[in-house]
Structure 1
Amino acid sequence: MAGTPTLAVVLDGLSTAGLDTGCRHGVPWYVSHLGSQLVAALANTSVSLAAGLAEAIERVAALHPGCDLKNPGTPSATVSVLRQRGGYLDHLVLADSPVVFEEHHDFTVITDLRVDEVLPDLRAEVEQYETHTVEHEKALRRFVTAQRQSRNTSTGYWVAAADPEAASHAIVGSTAAEAVRAAAVLSDGASRLVTEYAMATWAEVFAMLRADGPRELLREVRKVEATDPTGRRWPRYKSGDDASVAFCQW
């Protein structure tokens, strides 16, 4: 996660499931460098969010040319961005980390769930096993191996990796700032309190963020997950996913 007074960026690195990536640096390195390059590219408000993301992806790829950037498992990440530009709020969402607007009478959730449409049978196989079991680990590796073949293709889903073309497939838009009370930019590990676990509404999440800040939301996510450590109630890839949230008010 990164930010400035007018910019919020949340990146969520994709799990490798222990598989080869063709890169000696790893996912945390990729996420860190993509975030810093993206903040730098978007400091110029005349640069669109998609153009800034494409530039950042290209710059990070240039930082490790010795790695196999054609490997389908090359380090990658979801990207969500919110930028204040004059009287507008520009957003970009690439994959399933949402941007949520608290409007005066409702909430608008912007997310990209194309990944959920890929390989439903293998996804179901993973979800039938409890986490922390050998069967779950093997099923997850099969799923991720197959999923990589659909990553950044016209018939699959898009994430930030080594090819700047991915930026052109992001969901982008602008909203009048006067129509928004507050906004949250979240990784799916944080948003699942509402979207997957259904243990809170967006109204409750924003009340929590306003009263106690992001740390309280993340504590609540972990508290809920602790009641189901092996994924029996809420089938998932791991007991607790990385969780980040940027809460923005004007």
Structure 2
Amino acid sequence: MELPRSCYRRRSGPAVVLLDGAGIPGTESICAHGVTWYTHRLGGALLGRLSRDDGRDLGAILAATIGEVAAMHRGTCDVGHPSSPQATVAMVRARRGRLDYLLLADSFLVLDQPDGGPQVLTDEREANARRACSAPLAGVAEGTPEYDWPGVLDLLDADGPIDVIRRVRRAEARAAGGPDARVPDDATVAHCAHLPRSEVGEPRQPAAT
């Protein structure tokens, strides 16, 4: 599946990284490189650090990598400006019977648990986004497979991420003419199957820099 240019999704061994870049058009004077450049540099550097499999804390890995990418263009761009390119981050690592994860901003991790149904995780600081994601998908009719998380997981198992996104886009298109029509945002799904049974670790957040 072709990703939006501002998104990044890669896997290296037991680690997966998914980023969704964010930026404001017309801010070239702040950063000449742009969101796509930033997202792919950050994602590639994160995956490189994770591939070392040294068990380092995910928050420390992310903080160090953000600093590394900032240093790449600090001399030409205003990296401290709030409109400088940035990205949401989802990092997952299975290591020695433990599943570690880090979620920054409105990224979500859905764990298909053998008992108790799906567990939906996100950045605790994104309370509004978390409520929106935990609710049924906007624009999707009740009773359809993609209406709730168990249905979404079944669709992922059967047909993969492309079909899930295609169904959501169709639902958005049906609602496009209504008063509550929304402009579709980027949509990227990383489906990790056949992972070893692992204990889920505590959520990690970036270390202070």
Aligned to 2:192: 248
Q: Structure 1: give runs of 5+ residues left out of the alignment.
A: 119-187
Whether the aligned pair in 2 keeps the contact of 1:30 and 1:75 (CA below 8 Å) is yes
Greater helix share, structure number: 1
**Per-residue deviation, 1:194:** 3.9
SS in 1 for 2:157: helix
Range moving further from structure 2, 192-201 or 224-233: 192-201
1:63 pairs, out of 52, 65, 72, with 72
| 1:72 CA drift (Å) | 1.2
Whether 1:29 and 2:43 are equivalent positions in the alignment is no
Count the aligned residue pairs: 175
Structure 1 residues 48 and 2: CA distance shift in structure 2, 3 A? same
TM-aligned CA deviation for residue 15 of structure 1: 3.9
Of 96, 108, 117, which aligns to 2:119? 108
In the TM superposition, what are the counterparts of 1:13-162 in structure 2 within 5 Å?
13-16=21-24, 18-20=25-27, 22-45=30-53, 46-65=55-74, 66-105=76-115, 106-112=117-123, 114-115=125-126
Structure 2: any 5+ residue segments left out of the alignment? 1-8, 142-146, 195-209
- Cα distance in 1 for partners of 2:134, 2:168 equals 8
Aligned to 1:183: none
CA contact (8 A) 1:79 1:93 kept: yes
Q: Are residues 1:209 and 2:153 paired?
A: no
| Contact map agreement 2:13 2:51 (CA 8 A) in 1 | no
Aligned identity (percent) is: 37
Q: Secondary structure at the match of 1:114?
A: coil
Structure 2 partner of 1:224: 171
- Matches of 1:93 and 1:197 in 2, distance apart? 25
Alignment of 1:185-196 (within 5 A): 194-196=136-138
Q: In structure 1, the residue corresponding to 2:179 is in which secondary structure? A: coil
1:112-169 per-residue CA deviation (whole Å, 9 max, x = no partner) reads: 2635669xxxxxxxxxxxxxxxxxxxxxxxxxxxxxxxxxxxxxxxxxxxxxxxxxxx
* CA pair 30-231 structure 1, distance change in 2 beyond 3 A: farther
Please tell me the residue identity of whatever aligns with 2:87. Answer: A
Farther off after superposition, 7-16 or 69-78: 7-16
CA RMSD of superposed structures (Å): 2.4
Q: Deviations over 1:203-237 (max 9, x none)?
A: 11110000001111111111111112256335x4x
Q: Does the CA-based 8 Å contact 1:42-1:48 persist in structure 2? A: no
The C-alpha deviation readout for 1:38-87, integer Å capped at 9, x for no partner, is 00111123212111111211111111121011211110011011111121
